[in-house]
Amino acid sequence: MIKKLYYALLTGFLCYLPVSLFAQSDISFNKYHSPPEVQQVLKQLQQGNSAQTEIHTIATSPGGAPVTVLEIGKNLQDVPAVFVGANFEGNIPISTEGALGLAKMLLDSSRYTKNLKWYIMPLPNPDAAKGYFNTLKYNRTVNNFEINNDNDEALNEDGFDDLNGDGLITQMRVKDMQGTHIVLKSEPRIMVRADATKSERGEYKIFNEGIDNDGDGKYNEDGEGGINIGISFPHLFPYNKKEAGQWSGQAPEVYGIMRFIFDHPNIAMVYTLGSSDFCLVPPQGGRKGGANLQNFKIPSRYARMMNADPNKTYPMEEVIEKVKELLPPGTEVTPSMVAGILGLGAAVNPLDEDLKFYTLFSEDYKKYLKAKNFNTERLAPAPAKDGSFELWAYYHLGVPSFSMNLFTIPKVKEEKKKEAGELTMEKAGEMSTEEFVALGETKIDSFLKTNNAPDRFSGQGVIEMMQSGKLTPKQMVEMLSKKDTDDKKDAPDEKNKALLAWSEKEWQGKGFVPWKKIDHPDFEEAEVGGYVPYLENTPKPERIDSLLNIQLPWLLKLTEKMPSVSIASEKITDLGGGVYRLELFVENSGYLPYPIAMGQRNNQPSPVIVLLEGDVKLLEGLKRTPLGNIGGNQVKKLTWLLQSNKKPVISAKIESEVFSPDVKQIKIGG
């Protein structure tokens, strides 16, 4: 009996060990984790590090799944924080793995958690994310929010249908006299839009695989769900897209995320793991509707204050000088600040001051990847979408917002043409007829083959044509160059080339479903085929670990660039009669300014306040003085005139939601 009890206790103890002591080391990244498994991993991380972690449930999806945030650093107070969100659209599972991997990295080392708090949200769109693990796959991006997309009396009645029974929703091409697409001649798997300027007429209409379930003449217009969390944030909210919802925050996931972030004003930097990549490519501009910051009219309500003519156009430099006259002496005024003060329209393009650090960091990132022997010759990452989280974080929160795309398809390397000896197209075009003919039939044959000449051309034939005066070397080169250009026009574009090559190399050709005729209730001639779902953004599971280990450390390096504000020193000057001048020098020892230019423009980040406390009378200056903006690696001087006959000790204190409190005891008159 005693032995049985002993073994029972021992077994129970051993069963408990993996959860409490070894849970963190048991987490591996050789598979994609389903939404329930993601929650299990988060619980493992929390249970293995209970003193410094906490899980916050910030929303419940319409499908009943929790949206959770793992806080790392719950034991830390008054420190800046980084918020990490991943896989907002739900169709990029590797980004969820990236968030979990980053959490594990942080908990395995204290270097980046000593004076920095982290909020990590690996799965904001669990309803969509479960699509990758369903038997029927179709790149789902929407949650289970009930939306009647076709405005009839039924919900979700016309979704996708697996017509060829392969468990994948691909495309359907239908022969139609009013078609919009044609088959690409050089690659019959690819459909391209017909170009009327080339006398092309469409032969096919393209649909997603399915039938007209509700008989309204439309296909797959009212499927399962829902709202796409990844395009439902306020900045440039796409009202014209039904999957964005009727307003930002309509989806409980989006509202919960925004509520959590606004309730935590210590968030000083935001990372997004998904389809865009601000680490590699700075945020794109060029959107219409941005404020003109070069020459503009001053709104009438401000023109009177500035003694300006509201009907006159002023250059930015002149307006800056007018604004300075209204502010305390020495206040730094930037174009971003002016735009914010005067309300010069919505900002829709990144500000030049911010693009400087984005560009610098992207160049550094490329060098970092090169040092890791990581191939950057890949398809360009997608631009950030209107309504995306990463754009909202930059434009509305006014904090540095970096996104990272952990996987894109490698480009197809163009094979360099082998030259026939030293003979290039350029050199051949410069030769005389006699010089070219003197090369001989064998060399000319090789030259023609290397440059993809038509089969009807041969070395002997070209020699005869040149000797008879019907062809010159220059004319021959022009003809070959034109053919090469025409061949390229008919070839698949860069993206399709890469996808097809990746399908062949990595998926043994199974990344593309060959077009196959099907029996369709509505069409006489219909075929199903195309790229399989998730091909473009989801590598095989065995690649996950290496992709994370190479790229994620860069995000940790970026945190070293964060601003850090503290009191550097002070100077007291005795002016006589119990009056003193106090000069306080506040430094930002970080690389980035606080706030960044967009933060200055929208006044969103929590301000830094310098507070004076003590038994003195202020003759000039404020007890609570806003620091304003401070550049990276810069020092800012604040000045007060004080009066006191007691020579007291006063305290100067930095108050901020972002930075740790810093208090300086200063003896007046000592």
Q: Where are the domains of the chain?
A: 27-147+225-288+349-408+537-562, 155-222+512-532, 291-345, 425-490, 565-667
DSSP state for residue 650 in the 8-state scheme: E
Question: Which of 10-24, 272-286, 430-444, 465-479 is most confident?
Answer: 272-286
Q: How do residues 107-128 score in pLDDT, each as one tens digit?
A: 998 899 999 999 999 999 999 9
Tally of CA atoms within 13 A in the half-sphere of 226 that contains its CB = 27
Q: What is the mean pLDDT of the segment spanning 347-368?
A: 94
Nearby residues of 219 by Cβ (< 8 Å), 6 or more positions away: 158, 207, 208, 210, 211, 212
For residue 386, pLDDT over 80 is answered with yes
- CATH class held by domain 27-147+225-288+349-408+537-562: alpha beta
Per-residue model confidence (pLDDT) at position 4: 39
Q: 474: exposed, middle or buried (C-beta count within 10 Å: 0-12, 13-18, 19+)?
A: middle
For residue 360, pLDDT over 90 is answered with yes
Q: How do residues 544-580 score in pLDDT, each as one tens digit?
A: 999 999 999 999 999 999 999 999 999 999 999 999 9
| pLDDT above 90: percentage of residues in the chain | 63
Mean pLDDT, rounded, of the chain: 87
Per-residue model confidence (pLDDT) at position 288: 65
Contact indicator for 219, 158 with CB cutoff of 8 Å = yes
DSSP state for residue 60 in the 8-state scheme: E
| Tokens representing residue 616 in the block | 């003195």
For residue 17, pLDDT over 50 is answered with no
Per-residue model confidence (pLDDT) at position 480: 81
Q: Which of 2.60.40.10, 1.10.1040.20, 3.40.50.2000, 3.40.190.10 would CATH assign to domain 565-667?
A: 2.60.40.10
Per-residue model confidence (pLDDT) at position 289: 63
Per-residue model confidence (pLDDT) at position 3: 40
Q: What is the mean pLDDT of the segment spanning 146-165?
A: 62
Per-residue model confidence (pLDDT) at position 505: 92
Say if 27-147+225-288+349-408+537-562 and 565-667 have the same CATH topology.
no
Per-residue model confidence (pLDDT) at position 488: 58
Q: What is the mean pLDDT of the segment spanning 271-285?
A: 94
The residue among 334, 333, 343, 337 whose CA lies nearest residue 296 is 343
Kindly report each contact of residues 574-581 with a partner whose C-beta sits within 8 Å and lies 24 or more positions away, as own/partner: 574/669, 575/641, 578/643, 578/644, 578/645, 579/619, 579/641, 579/642, 579/643, 580/641, 580/642, 580/643, 580/644, 580/668, 580/669, 581/639, 581/640, 581/641, 581/642
Per-residue model confidence (pLDDT) at position 287: 72
What is the model's pTM?
0.81
Per-residue model confidence (pLDDT) at position 59: 98
Q: How do residues 125-154 score in pLDDT, each as one tens digit?
A: 999 999 999 999 999 999 999 875 544 433
With tokens 């003109």, the residue in question is 292
Per-residue model confidence (pLDDT) at position 415: 57
Contact indicator for 406, 273 with CB cutoff of 8 Å = yes
For residue 220, pLDDT over 70 is answered with no
Per-residue model confidence (pLDDT) at position 292: 64
Q: What is the mean pLDDT of the segment spanning 18-22?
A: 33
